[in-house]
Each structure stands twice: as structure tokens, then as C-alpha cells.
Amino acid sequence: MPGPLEGVRVVEMAGLAPGPFGCMLLADLGAEVLRIERAGGGGGIVPPQGPMDRGKRSVAVDLKSAAGRELVHKLAAEADVFVEGYRPGVAERLGIGPEDLRGVNPRLIYGRITGWGQDGPLAPRAGHDINYAAISGGLDLLGRAGEPPTPPANILADFAGGGMLLALGILAALHERQTSGTGQVVDAAMVDGAAVLTTFMHGMHAHGLWNGERGTNLLDGGAACYGTYETADGGFMAVGALEPQFWAELVAKLELDAEELPFHLDLSQAEKLREILAEKFRTRTLAEWSELFADSDACVTPVVPAWEAHKHPHNAARNTYIEVDGVVQPAPAPRFSRTPAGTPAAASGAADAEAQSAILADWGLSTDAIAAVRDGGGLG
């Protein structure tokens, strides 16, 4: 069955992780995504083809040629959404900025994803996830007490605060267009997204519930009832027994005497309680603890290695992971009752002139128009 975004056409200018991730989310939900690759390659990091390319097709375009720029204009005229991740001003210099494309398609949603946003003193500067997370305040929250902040790979700003926020903004703009009939620019800045993700912590801080140094608060490692514990065989169990009823069940499962334990939410006694729990968890293996807590409301689960998560019984039962082109990867989410997303196809790259011509024809270009672009040096 078609996904909920069936009929939505997206032009994605090839780039690094956040933009392709946001467009992958749209493709997963049924949008038709056409990625514009840089003809002849170029400098900088070029990620290998992988899961974020799934469900997309691509053509290689030389934006330095008039024919290449004209091709992008023609594709934008047929699209609902256009996405680029250049530094501010670059798209305008290439002749494919918002005003350039608005002239050929007033209904176009123009998604711009950058680290610092389209304005502000850092807008023209380079950066990476760790930098955007740093000034958002998000990075300051992550890590153990007495240690430097720990970056969560590049999940916080690139993906959660970047690509996910971009996709949300595009969907909101598509909804608004139903009323106005007009497109608009979506400025998705990773620093903004990383900041939004700390909203809950700001609320906790305002009520005096998140005032300690990093790693000493309720949810960042300060509480013994919310953390990880090593097992006898070197694995780890994740414990999140915050509420009294869940804590009571954890204590019962561990065969501890509740009367002899410190209050689990008293952070001043957390270290003493942590030592007790750590000693207990070291008495059994990961498999043994996993079996014991499998049907429990104690909020205890194994810490599953990332590349084995698809084997966990719950993930397997829900088909949370799929295999595309020989690569195991997370399945599309969320799920819909009437218009579920199908299993994504592997990316269809522009391997030759015939393949590119077929893709462009599907996007409404005539044989003569395609030939003109090719003769003008616009295609790679």
C-alpha cells in the first residue's frame, strides 16, 4: 500500500548526514525523492551509499553549467519540496536559492538545513554536531560527574535536532500550503533543534529539580535507580525504576530487603545504593538477568549491542529492523493504520545515461529537453 506521503515529490541536493536523513524519513513515508549528485564528485567527505539513500533515485548534475542549473529549475517546477544543506548564500550564488526557484514554482517548500541557521554571528562558520550541541547547552548535560561532557556520537544535533526537525518543518509547511496555496522557506538549524531537545531539562531546572553538576541529577546518572550495571559476563543492564511501584518490583526481583536500602530518590545516598545494586548485578549473566526481568514492570532491560538489536525478541516481533540491499537497518517509523510504509527499496543511482534519462522522463522532462541538458554538459 502507498505511504501517507504518496504523491509528494522531493528534490534533495546531495550533502552530508542531516539533510539526507530528513529526506530518508520523507521517502520512508512514501514521498518520491530525487537526489541531485554533484557531477564528477568533489572535495570533502563523501559518505558511502547506505541506509539513508534507501528509496531514492539520483541524477548527477553539473551546477557550474547553465544547462545543469536549468535542469534543477525544471525539476523544482515539478516538485513539492526542495532541500539543500549549503552554508548560507551558497545556493543563491549557484542560482538555486529560494527566490530563484520560487520564480518557477510559487508552491515550492524550500527546506534549508544548516548547523547555525540562516542568520546570527556564526551563520557563515563551519561546524559539526558537537559544536551545535555545545552552544545549545545540550552537550553540557551529557557525561559522568567530574568528567568532561560526552558527545552522543552525532545523534543529538545532526539527526534528532537536524534531519528530524527538517522533516517536521517540511510536513508543517506542506499542511499550511493546503490553506495558503503558497510555499515557504523552512530554516532548520541544528543548534535550534538541539536546544529544543533540552526543553524538559529547562523545566526541571526552573523547579529546582536539575541544579547539580553534570552527572549528579535524577536522569543523568546521579540516581542509582536510573543507570546501567555490569553483569557477571561483562554485559550491562539498564535500570529505570524511578516510580515507587517499579522500584518495589526491582527490589523484590533482586531479593533485597527494602527496609535496609536508602530511599532510591535520595541523591545524597545514591552512591551507597549504587554499590549495593552493582554488587547484586555482578552475580548473574546478562542472559540470566534478561530472562528474570523479561515479564517484569521493574523497568530493567539489557543494553543490547547496536549491531545485534535486530535480534532482540521485541524488535524481531515488531520488525523494527529490516534488511535492504544486504544491510540490516532500522525500519521506517512511525507506523500508520491505513497507509503503512512498505519495505524501502535500495537506492537507484544514476549509473549511466540511459538510467538518468528514464528518471528525468518520469519527472516530466521531454526527450528533447533531456537531450538539451546532456548536450549542454548539465548531466554527469
CATH number of the CATH domain containing 139: 3.40.50.10540
> For this structure, is 202 an active site residue?
no
Query: Is the Cβ–Cβ distance between 165 and 158 less than 8 Å?
Result: no
Q: Does residue 313 lie within any of the structural domains?
A: no
Catalytic residue among 73, 100, 128, 312: 128
Q: Looking at the structure, do residues 59 and 119 belong to the same domain, yes or no?
A: yes
Q: Does residue 52 lie within any of the structural domains?
A: yes
Cis peptide before 18 (omega within 30 of 0): no
DSSP string across 274-342: HHHHHHHHTTS-HHHHHHHHTT-SS-EEE---GGGGGGSHHHHHHT-EEEETTEEEEPP-S--SSS---
Calculate mean pLDDT across residues 188-193: 98
**pLDDT at residue number 42:** 54
pLDDT tier for residue 347 given thresholds of 50, 70 and 90: confident
User: In the block, which residue shows the cell 552554508?
Assistant: 87
The range of the structural domain enclosing residue 257 comes to 218-230+236-302
Q: Looking at the structure, do residues 283 and 173 belong to the same domain, yes or no?
A: no
> For this structure, is 128 an active site residue?
yes
Q: Does residue 2 lie within any of the structural domains?
A: no
Calculate mean pLDDT across residues 167-177: 98
**pLDDT at residue number 7:** 96
**pLDDT at residue number 342:** 78
Q: Does residue 4 lie within any of the structural domains?
A: no
**pLDDT at residue number 196:** 98
Q: Looking at the structure, do residues 274 and 334 belong to the same domain, yes or no?
A: no
Provide the CATH number for the domain around residue 284.
3.30.1540.10
Domain count, the chain: 2
Catalytic residue among 62, 80, 129, 158: 158
Alpha helices in 114-163 (DSSP H): 129-136
Q: Looking at the structure, do residues 286 and 358 belong to the same domain, yes or no?
A: no
pLDDT tier for residue 46 given thresholds of 50, 70 and 90: low
Q: Looking at the structure, do residues 244 and 128 belong to the same domain, yes or no?
A: no
Q: Looking at the structure, do residues 26 and 165 belong to the same domain, yes or no?
A: yes
CA-based nearest residue to 9, from 69, 59, 56, 42: 56
Q: What is the DSSP secondary structure assignment for residue 272, as one 8-state letter? A: H
Query: Is the Cβ–Cβ distance between 53 and 35 less than 8 Å?
Result: yes
CA-based nearest residue to 358, from 94, 57, 110: 57
